Structure formats: structure tokens, C-alpha cells
Chain A
Amino acid sequence: MSINTAPSSPPNQTSPTAAAAAAAAAAPHDHTKSNNPIRLPISISLTINDTLNHGSNNNGGSNGLGILPSRTATSLAMMNGSNANAAAATTETSAVPAVAGTKSIRHFVYPPNQVNQIDFSLDIHPPPNTSLPERIDQPTLKHRMDKHGLFSIRLTPFIDTTSSSAANQGLFFDPIIRTAGAGSQIIIGRYTERVREAISKIPDQYHPVVFKSKVISRTHGCFKVDDQGNWFLKDVKSSSGTFLNHQRLSSASTTSSDHLLHDGDIIQLGMDFRGGTEEIYRCVKMKIELNKSWKLKANAFNKEALNRIKSLQKLTTGLEQEDCSICLNKIKPCQAIFISPCAHSWHFHCVRRLVILSYPQFMCPNCRSNCDLEATLESESESEFESESENESDIEMDIEVDTNNNLGVRLID
């Protein structure tokens, strides 16, 4: 990483190219775009090391990464004004140019559906002997977008179940979801305080992808997405490498070509240092999911499933339960739900603490019936079948249980 070279050199002579790049990215770029609401309603420059000193001339650069020149801020305001009639576009269209050291890689996120109007500047250089995927038809393309017309990438820690070695499984991180319009480029890099500061005002889904590990370069690589929703991965001179399905994209400190990503691919950033015993020296292994946003939409299947749960509750408790009794919000499709044996249900998120509290014993907060969450499933299901077909005494018992539940409900509600 080039950061060590920066502070010793005088600001303007360090790397004229980088300075120029920074200027080009931050200022004139935004100015020209300010008349063009399609691009960059939010513009924040992330500058790293070399360009840091340059930034201080423009104010606000003293802390390196930051929300840079006031010009940018002004143009941002102007743009928000001009975009007032397209509120949706304003919120969804943030672009974050990041000029990173001498690499001058920019992080930008474009709004949806502007493909035809932007000068499509995303250069995609696939590796030799490979070709770009064929163009897809409109319905398929639509399927790839979320409801706002953005493409998405989701990164989850990859836990290698095939290797039995107790070696570390890479850095743990919460799932990362990024959404972006066609032509966007999302930086992958190391999490630093400066980055945190600079991105604090941008919604999460437009942030660069950053990890708290020292084996990740500050600007390690980038994701690109084209107008078809194809995602690409590129290594931008990282020191410890980027691996796609276990193959290194480029040797140390060289830029790779753009590799087409497929759903389920495994990416590894960097290599464990000192055996990866310390968290901060672990590589990042992650599995990717692409353009899966459609799965999170309400559809006939998940609506039907939810209706069945509701009618089950009505059957068992005699009451129609609409809302989660803990957060008082509706239970909707695409939410994780926990159903207790008494057929009451809550958002898993809401009831989780109660479940953990006395696990495996669980007391329903709605009707106070107790149950054992570790109860064997086999015997339960058998008795269920029996009670349906057998004589009255069994049925009576069932009724008794039911009234108990109802009593509980009445007492509480």
C-alpha cells in the first residue's frame, strides 16, 4: 500500500497524476454534472494518502478522508434542488467517487434506469479468451432488478464445511448488501476511521465494501455492474491478492481484468497473515449472491404461506392474530417468523430474546402456555395423528388443552 510514501513528500509534488485525478474526480466532474440530475446527486470524495495533502488545500482535507471541497457540497445542494421533483431518484442515487492514492479508483453508485442517458463510462475488460455474456431480454432483466430498479450483490461469510481442519474460517462479518444502478463501481477495501467518517452520511447500501482486516489493501479491488446486471470483480493492485473460486486474479500489485461473477461464487480477499490467529490478520472469504432482490418481494407463494399460518392460528386459538404482539407491527411476507406450538407467532427478530432466555423452555408471551423447544418431533407427530382418528376421550383432552389456551388469552388480552 502506498500510504507510507505520502506524508514525507510535499503535497503538490507527490503525485501530480493523483492530484489531477482527484481534482478531476471531485470538482469539475461534479460541476458539469450539477446541471445533469441523472448523475451524482450526492457526491463525496474519498481520498486516501497521496491525495490527502492535496485535499487540505481545499479545506476539510486535514483529516484525510472526509467530505471534501465545499464546492462539492454546494453542487450537492443544487442537485438536490434540481432533483426535488424526483424524490425517489434523489434518495436512491448516490454516487461516491473515491480517489484512492495513486490508484485513483472511484467509488460510484448510479441511479437505476439511466443507462441510455449516461455516457457509459464503465470500462469492462474481461480476461482474454472470455467473452461477455449474451444480452438478456427485458423480462429477465427486470427479474434481476429490485423494486427500485437497482441491481444487488450480497456478501456473506463463507464457511468452508468441506475442510475439516480447525483452521480459522476467515474474518467474520455481518452480511453485506449493496445495490447499484447500471455502470456503478463499488470499491472493496479496508475499513479505516477515515472511511467511516466519509461514508457516515450515505445509506449503507451505497457504501464501499470495507473490512476490518489488515490483509485487505485500502483499495483492494472493485465490483462493477453493467446495464444487464452482470457483476464483475477486479483486483486493483492489492498487495495480498483477490481470489475468485480459489484462483488468484492477478499477481501482487498488478491490476487484474474484470472477471464475470456468478451466483454462488466464492471470493477470498488477501491471505491469512501469521496463521490468521489474530482477527485483524484474517483474510476475508465470502460467498456472493447476485441480483436476488426479487426473492424478497411479496409473491403468490409467500402470501399464501402467510395466509395459511394465519388460518392455523384462527383454528387453534379462535382469534385472528394480525400483528406481532411484541412490536405491534404487521407480520408480512418475507419476514422471518417464529411459530410456537400454541400457534402464536411473532417476528423472529422480536421473539428471539425470549426464545434464548430460557431455551429450550419457552413460555408463549400471548397465552403463557409452556413448551419444550427440544421436544422430540417424532412422538409428537404420532400422537397428533392418533387424536384425529381416535375415540372421544382423546378429543376431550384436546378440547381441554384448547380451553386452557383460550383462558390464557382472555386473561391477558
Chain B
Amino acid sequence: MASLPKRIIKETEKLVSDPVPGITAEPHDDNLRYFQVTIEGPEQSPYEDGVFKLELFLPDDYPMEAPKVRFLTKIYHPNIDRLGRICLDVLKTNWSPALQIRTVLLSIQALLASPNPNDPLANDVAEDWIKNEEGAKAKAREWTKLYAKKKPE
């Protein structure tokens, strides 16, 4: 593989030296384009107190191409499907090279705080969400407890 672009090195350094609250991102030892990410569920959302694992990969064409991000932790969310794929405009058509790993992860955290069942990726979840929001949120809280429990340190 070609050498790592300066931009990626810079971003990685910044993520370490000045981390975003509630978000961690660490590059893999063997592949510095592959990041292991954790995002804390936003307060006052059904995902509160959960820690979600994600993987993030910077394609060769990054930053001209958006990073590829996927949830590894199971999550009950209308815009995230059972494979962990995320429906988020900045990861698709609205990607801009002025965005960065940190801004993308912040957007994902914001997506957790405000699910959008009208533009669903997981149809069953979205339907549930529209029909019975309280029940869906309760299920999301349940899943958070079940799969995204913070590990006591």
C-alpha cells in the first residue's frame, strides 16, 4: 500500500491528543487506515449509558471519498440495520473532503440522539418507531443494556 497520507497522520494525532468527549478512535496496529471506534450513547436518549463499538475504514481515495463506518455493537435504531450499516447523508452523497473522522463520528453520535424513522434503513425498526415510539424507545433501551453495557473498569 502507498504510504499513509499526511492528512490521515494529522487526523490520527489530533484524535489522540484532543479526543472528542464520549468518542474514542484508535487506529489498528497493522492497518493505520482501520480504526476501532467507541461512541457513548448520548444523554437523554434511549442509548444513554451504552458504549457502542464501531469500525471505521479510510478508503484509498480518502478524503475525496467518505470513510466507511459500521456499528459492531447491536443497536435498535431506525437508521442502522442489523449489519450495523448506517444511513447518514454525510457518509454517502453529502460527503465533503472538508469533513473529518471526528466530524463524521460526531454526526453519528447526533444520529443516535435524533433517530429519523422517515428515512429508514431498518424498515421493521422504523415502522415500530412510527407506530409506537415509546415502545420502540423502550426496546432500544433494553438492547442498549443487553449489548452495549459499559464495562466496569
Which residues in A have some Cβ–Cβ distance to B below 8 Å? 325-329, 350, 353-354, 363, 365-366, 368, 412-413
Contacts and interface: CB of A to CB of B under 8 A. Distances in A.
12 contacts: A326-B7, A326-B63, A328-B6, A350-B97, A354-B64, A354-B97, A365-B99, A366-B98, A368-B96, A412-B96, A412-B103, A413-B103
The 9 closest A-B pairs by CB, nearest first: A325-B98, A365-B96, A365-B98, A366-B98, A326-B97, A328-B10, A365-B97, A328-B7, A327-B7
Nearest to B96: A365
Interface in B46-102: 63-64, 96-100
Tell which of B10, B63, B64, B97 has the most Cβ of chain A within 10 Å: B97
Contacts of A366: 96, 98
A328 B11 contact: yes
Given A329-B10, A365-B98, A366-B98, 4 more contacts: A325-B97, A325-B98, A368-B96, A413-B103
Contacts of A327: 5-7
B7 A353 contact: no
B80 to A, nearest CB: 21
A412 B5 CA distance: 23
A325 B100 CA distance: 9
Contacts of A354: 64, 97
A353 B103 contact: no
Contact of B99 (A329, A350, A353, A412): A412
A183 B10 CA distance: 41
Name the prevailing secondary structure of the B interface residues: loop
B96 to A, nearest CB: 4
A413 B90 CA distance: 12
Contacts of B96: 363, 365-366, 368, 412
A413 B104 CA distance: 10
A365 B100 CA distance: 12
B98 A329 contact: no
Contacts of A413: 103
Contacts of A328: 6-7, 10-11, 100
Nearest to B9: A328
B6 A329 contact: yes
B86 to A, nearest CB: 18
A366 B96 CA distance: 8
Contacts of A353: 64
Contacts of B6: 327-329
A365 B103 CA distance: 13
Nearest to A351: B97
Contacts of B7: 326-329
A363 B10 CA distance: 25
B2 to A, nearest CB: 15
Tell which of A328, A329, A363, A366 has the most Cβ of chain B within 10 Å: A328
Nearest to B10: A328
Interface string B1-38: 00001110011000000000000000000000000000
A366 B97 CA distance: 8
A241 B120 CA distance: 71
B59 to A, nearest CB: 14
Tell which of B5, B11, B96, B98 has the most Cβ of chain A within 10 Å: B98
Contacts of A326: 7, 63, 97-98
B101 to A, nearest CB: 11
A327 B96 CA distance: 12
A413 B96 CA distance: 11
Contacts of B99: 365, 412
A8 to B, nearest CB: 44
Nearest to B14: A328
Nearest to A323: B10
